[in-house]
Amino acid sequence: MATQRIPVILVTGFLGSGKTTMLNHLMRDSTDTRIGVIVNDFGSINIDAMAVAGQVDSMIPIENGCLCCAADASEMDEMLERLTDPELRIDVVVIEASGLAEPQSMIRALLSSSNERIVYGGLVEVVDAAEFPDTRVRHPELDRHVRAADLVVLNKTDRVAEDERRGLLEDLQEIAPGVPVVTAAHGRVDPALLFDHRPRETAGEDFRQLSFADVWADETGGADGCGDESHGHDHSRHLHAAYESVEFSAAEPLHPRRLMDFLDSRPVGLYRAKGFLHFAGAGRERKFGLHAVGSYLRFELSPWERGAPRTTQLVMIGTGIDAGTLTKRLAECVAAPEEEIDETHMMGVLRYVNETG
């Protein structure tokens, strides 16, 4: 008899490429599908989980680390066990990996899962059209990630000119011949590309017949860059081996001008910053979502949740960043109670407010 198994889809992509944005779009656009989500944040404050919460049928956040390493098969199994509890009636599970995860390690963990209620549903790699050429130079291993994908989403096409977009499509075809690529702005892809609107009858058949050999095989010589002694991996080749995260929280509101000074002179190694800001003065009534990716900076405004504490929570991710200096500089952005802060102090911030966000 055919078994009805729940597809598990992996969403990977470098820091800030738009994974959470796409996930939120998918959830908004798939009201007839019950989606369970596992969100893996690299830092210890769950910014991504906060951005996804409320839209999803069930979610398990995993913070501080990279699922590709944290998840040996049994750990991954435990999380999937919870999400695939028949009582939750989940149709599809989406795992949003951290921006530094190794896709192939995650595929391997999924394929070796002993959970009989799931089936590997494929890998979606989100590519940041604006940043990819530079990021690829710094991290040639991204090519391997693209090759592991079943679908590549070339996101942020609104940030590149038409000829750049065409050039990127050609590059992606060269890197991963035959892997389908869809272009998107703000992660708006058709959910049907990722999952059926109703649960599929798999009859034991995988979405894509990936074998262990596929997962291990790679043009770079067979390794996926992951693996401890016990299964022959070398974690030092993982993207996240070179990155570190620094968290900052403050209960007291920030001075908007000092915060902008900090952001304008952020160290080059600080590639990604995200979180929520609580400003003193004219901006105090709104929650400012902060997103920095490379040189890109945006604030997304939203109301503070009723009854929720107004605080600042930030995660910064980069290479060669000095935690002590960053924390000290941010602490200096906290406004003193006697400081007068008016609209003019907010002007630097408002230049980066996302009108569509």
Ligand X SMILES: Nc1nc2c(ncn2[C@@H]2O[C@H](COP(=O)(O)OP(=O)(O)OP(=O)(O)O)[C@@H](O)[C@H]2O)c(=O)[nH]1
Which residue number, 280 or 288, has a Cβ lying nearer to ligand X? 288
In angstroms, the Cα distances linking 88 to 5, 191, 330 are 14, 21, 42
Closer residue to ligand X, CB minimum distance, 13 or 36: 13
Give the number of other Cβ atoms within 10 Å of residue 232's Cβ. 11
C-beta of 223 vs 297, nearer to ligand X: 297
Q: Is 207 helix (H, G, I), strand (E, B) or coil?
A: coil
CB of 245 to ligand X, least distance (A): 10
The nearest distance, CB 187 to ligand X, in angstroms, is 5
List, in order, residues 6 or more apart from 221 with CB less than 8 Å away.
none
Task: List the one residue out of 15, 10, 1 whose CA is nearest residue 207.
Answer: 10
Nearer to ligand X, 97 or 210 (CB): 97
DSSP 66-119: -HHHH--HHHHHHHHHHHT-GGG--SEEEEE--TT--HHHHHHHHHT---TTEE
| CA–CA separation, 120 and 128 (whole Å) | 25
Q: How far is the CB of 18 from ligand X (least distance, A)?
A: 3
The CA distance from 321 to 54, in Å, is: 33
Whole-number minimum distance, CB 246 to ligand X, in Å?
A: 14
| Rounded distance between C-alpha atoms, residue 355 and residue 301, angstroms | 9
Residues forming the site for ligand X (CB under 6 A): 13, 15-21, 48, 99, 155-156, 158-159, 185-187, 272, 274, 291, 293, 298
Q: Report which DSSP code applies to 15.
A: T
Beta strand 244-250 with 181-183 is unpaired
Return the number of the residue (18 or 253) whose C-beta is nearest ligand X: 18
Which residue, 47 or 335, is less far from ligand X as judged by CB? 47
Residue number with CB closer to ligand X (44 or 211): 44
Smaller CB distance to ligand X: residue 151 or 293? 293
Secondary structure (3-state) at 35: strand
> Which residue's Cβ has the minimum distance to ligand X?
99
Q: 199 burial class (0-12, 13-18, 19+ CB within 10 angstroms)?
A: middle
Q: Give the nearest distance from C-beta 261 to ligand X in angstroms.
A: 21
How far apart are alpha carbons 48 and 153 in whole angstroms? 19
Beta carbon of residue 14, minimum distance to ligand X (angstroms, whole number): 7
CB neighbours of 323 closer than 8 A, spacing ≥ 6? Answer: 244, 246
